[in-house]
Amino acid sequence: MTLFHRVLGSIIVLLFVVIVVWGLVLRVLGRRDTPAALWAVQHWTENLLVVQTVVGIVLLLMGRRAPGAELPWFHYLYGSLFPLIAVVGGRLAGLRREDREYIGLVWGGFIAFGLTLRAVQTGCGLEVPLRACLGL
């Protein structure tokens, strides 16, 4: 995994954490509206996820494989297909609500967070500590 691919994956994981925490704070505060800034973070996280997927496909076409994955296709599913489905599903769920649209974003972000974190972990290998894999 190239350094760019790894760093971008870590940024995406952290952005999903921001979405989830932000949504939880909104819920605790009893807010009914979804701030435009939260929609912007969601939008840019989706864009970065698409860029990350394209970078991963380019790396795959160049013959690079997820180095630590015993079953590398897990990395590809966790890193692109499943998070994209979760993010799109969360966005659609949010748009269908009259108020508290952010709840759909939070659930989509929470599921995508777990999946992208797992993608980073399978890409680095299970024997590598997650902190080191995320570059922390």
Position 130 scores a pLDDT of 61
Place of tokens 């680095």: 124
Residues of the chain with pLDDT under 70: 1, 66-72, 90-91, 93-98, 125-136
How much is the pTM? 0.79
Question: Could you tell me the residue ranges of all domains in the chain?
Answer: 3-134
- pLDDT at position 71 is 62
Which pLDDT belongs to residue 81? 74
Q: Does residue 100 contact residue 34 with C-beta atoms inside 8 Å? A: yes
Could you identify the residue written with the tokens 């795959």?
60
